[in-house]
């Protein structure tokens, strides 16, 4: 009864871990801010719901929100307009709609390893194959262009990039971004740039791919920006020639994005991003704390991430990452095994610092106890 494509994809390692956790476990596993949405965003959602804004809207999103999103990109591209913007049910749906619009059966798509869990399954759902390209900690998680070139075949259709990265926290330098654009152009590839962690950079600076080539599709989200992951709202910015097709696919996936959530996001954008900046300030402080403390745990090695809100420490404890994550889970700490993000994540754990400082402290105590149990030094 079940299609081969459904059999070929697996439930993400992140979700699995979450679903089998003890109720009082400390969750450094899931990727969402531990903040409430800004008050202005909550108020706008409540107002919308109370004032009858509970119905379907246009499949590409409310024109006013599309316009407000386009405005954010105008500094990069004077020509961008709401016609380039499709509002989606989170970045996740933006990614799958882009994959279904761009990939043909039998295509190959370059995806980061380690990289976010949806890229390969989305390629598979679109009939294509995800081909991992390595991102190496020693290179600050900048891609190796020789390795990229080696993976290009006559079937390569696109490259997926994600800076700041989940799970590595790597941020591409402006030079890397330019080189990736040249690489994609030279090989006739589309670039799907997942920019959902845009505002969250602690070292270096964020560089959008938008405006650098007409081959770029930016996938973005309000999930992290306004800590509204459960409201499911994101957007795609795409070349004008492609946007109507992505919109068509998105229509067949979700009909339209949530109307009240869109009105809330619109109010949030109009108000400005002070709440987001305050959240990122807190993440920055936690990043310093967790990076320092993880390196004090015998057997753990952690480079402070340049962006996003994850650490990706290497361990030299016995066992594989799923075994170590399983053992930590029994001791009350939810983490994500690095290999959930690709083969090169083996030997790593992903630990989110989108958790309160007391919980980060408790997590450190569990890690110290575990290191002692396994005799690390
Ligand atoms: C890199 C990356 N892209 C996209 C998403 C999708 O987020 P959402 O669907 O909530 O916008 C996530 C969520 O964790 C992510 O980490």
Residue 203 has pLDDT above 70, yes or no: yes
Residue 377 has pLDDT above 80, yes or no: no
What value does the mean pLDDT of the chain take? 95
For residue 138, the CA-to-ligand 1 centroid distance in Å is 25
- Please, are residues 95 and 122 in contact by the beta-carbon 8 Å criterion? yes
**Residue 30's pLDDT is what?**
79
Residue of 194, 196, 197 to mutate, ligand 1, most atoms within 8 A of C-beta: 196
Cα–Cα distance for residue pair 15/29, rounded to 1 Å: 9
Average pLDDT in the 315-343 region?
95
Confidence check: pLDDT of 13 > 70: no
| CA–centroid distance, residue 298 to ligand 1 (Å) | 32
- pLDDT above 70 coverage of the chain, percent: 98
Dump pLDDT digits (tens) for 212-269: 999 999 999 999 999 999 999 999 999 999 999 999 999 999 999 999 999 999 999 9
Of the candidates 196, 166, 191, 188, the residue with the CA atom closest to the CA atom of residue 176 = 191
> What is the tens place of the pLDDT at every residue in 34-50?
899 999 999 999 999 99
Measure Cα distances from 54 to 87, 169, 223, 257, 260 in Å: 17, 37, 20, 11, 7
Whether 84 and 238 have beta carbons less than 8 Å apart is answered as yes
pLDDT, position 161: 98
Q: What is the CATH number of domain 51-271?
A: 3.40.640.10
Quickly list H helices, the chain.
4-8, 13-19, 39-50, 63-73, 90-102, 119-125, 145-150, 174-186, 222-225, 243-254, 259-271, 274-294, 321-330, 357-373
Which of 7-21, 101-115, 303-317 is predicted with the least confidence, judged by mean pLDDT? 7-21
User: Each residue of 39-98: pLDDT tens digit?
Assistant: 999 999 999 999 999 999 999 999 999 999 999 999 999 999 999 999 999 999 999 999
Encoded tokens for 358: 């007391």
Q: How many residues belong to the chain?
A: 377
Report the distance separating Cα 112 and Cα 9, nearest Å: 17
Q: State which CATH number among 3.40.50.150, 3.90.1150.10, 3.20.20.70, 3.40.47.10 fits the domain covering 4-37+274-373.
A: 3.90.1150.10
Distance of CA 144 to the CA centre of its chain: 21
pLDDT exceeds 80 at position 21: no
Distance CA 304, CA 322 (A): 23
- Name residues contacting ligand 1 (CB within 6 A): 31, 90-92, 116, 162, 166, 194, 196, 221, 223, 229, 234
Closest to 211 (Cα-Cα) out of 239, 189, 243, 247? 239
* Per-residue pLDDT at 16: 65
Whole-model pTM? 0.96
Beta carbons of 328 and 366 less than 8 angstroms apart: yes
Q: What is the pLDDT of residue 31?
A: 87
Residues of the chain with CATH 3.90.1150.10: 4-37+274-373
pLDDT at 10: 83
**Distance from residue 377's CA to the centre of ligand 1 (Å):** 36
- pLDDT above 90 (res 196): yes
Task: Please give the number of the atom of ligand 1 that sits closest to the Cα of 95.
Answer: 4
Task: Classify residue 179 as exposed, middle or buried by CB count within 10 Å of its CB (0-12, 13-18, 19+).
Answer: middle
Averaged over 270-277, what is the pLDDT? 94
SS3 content of the chain, % helix, strand, coil (to 5): 45, 15, 40
Buried b (16+ CB within 10 A) or exposed e, 247-276: bebbeeebebbbbbbbbbbbbbbeeebebb
Tokens describing residue 56: 């379907």
In whole angstroms, give the CA distance from residue 272 to residue 276.
9
pLDDT of 155 strictly over 80 = yes
pLDDT for the residue 14: 60
Cα maximum dimension of the chain: 62
Angle at 342 between CA 337 and CA 343, to 5 degrees: 90
Give residue 15's pLDDT: 64
Nearest one of 93, 191, 175 to 140, comparing CA atoms:
175
Is the pLDDT at 202 greater than 70? The verdict is yes
What is the model's pLDDT at position 54? 97
For a mutational test of ligand 1's pocket, the pick from 88, 92, 169, 230, i.e. the residue with the most ligand atoms closer than 8 A to its C-beta, is 92
> Does the pLDDT value for residue 181 go beyond 90?
yes
Atom from ligand 1 closest to the CA of residue 232: 10
Q: How far apart, in whole angstroms, are the C-alpha atoms of residue 225 and residue 283? A: 13
């Amino acid at each position: 009864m079940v299609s081969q494509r459904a059999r070929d994809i697996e439930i993400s390692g992140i979700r699995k871990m979450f679903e089998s956790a003890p109720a009082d476990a400390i969750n450094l596993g899931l990727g969402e801010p531990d903040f409430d949405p800004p008050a202005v965003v909550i108020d706008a959602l409540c107002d919308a719901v109370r004032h009858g804004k509970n119905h379907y809207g246009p499949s590409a999103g409310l024109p006013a929100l599309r316009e407000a999103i386009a405005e954010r990109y105008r500094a990069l591209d004077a020509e961008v307009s709401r016609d380039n913007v499709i509002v989606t049910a989170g970045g996740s749906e933006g990614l799958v709609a882009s994959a279904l619009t761009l990939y043909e059966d039998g295509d190959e798509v370059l995806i980061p390893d380690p990289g976010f869990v949806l890229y390969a399954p989305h390629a598979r759902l679109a009939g294509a194959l995800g081909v991992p390209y390595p991102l190496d900690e020693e290179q600050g998680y900048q891609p190796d262009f020789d390795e990229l070139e080696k993976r290009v075949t006559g079937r390569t259709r696109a490259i997926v990039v994600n800076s700041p990265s989940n799970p590595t926290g790597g941020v591409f330098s402006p030079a890397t971004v330019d080189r990736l654009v040249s690489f994609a152009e030279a090989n006739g590839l589309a670039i799907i740039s997942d920019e959902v962690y845009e505002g969250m950079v602690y070292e270096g600076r964020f560089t959008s791919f938008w405006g650098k080539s007409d081959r770029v599709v930016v996938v973005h989200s309000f999930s992290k920006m306004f800590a509204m992951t459960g409201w499911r709202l994101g957007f795609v910015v795409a070349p004008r020639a492609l946007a109507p097709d992505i919109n068509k696919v998105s229509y067949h996936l979700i009909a339209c994005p949530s109307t009240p959530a869109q009105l809330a996001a619109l109010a949030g954008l109009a108000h400005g991003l002070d709440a987001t900046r305050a959240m990122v300030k807190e993440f920055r402080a936690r990043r310093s704390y967790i990076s320092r403390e993880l390196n004090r745990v015998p057997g753990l090695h952690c480079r402070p991430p340049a962006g996003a809100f994850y650490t990706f420490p290497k361990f030299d404890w016995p066992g594989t990452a799923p075994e170590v994550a399983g053992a930590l889970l029994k001791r009350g700490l939810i983490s994500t095994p690095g290999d959930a993000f690709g083969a090169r994540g083996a030997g790593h754990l992903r630990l989110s610092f989108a958790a309160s400082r007391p919980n980060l402290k408790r997590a450190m105590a569990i890690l110290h106890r575990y290191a002692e149990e396994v005799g690390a030094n």
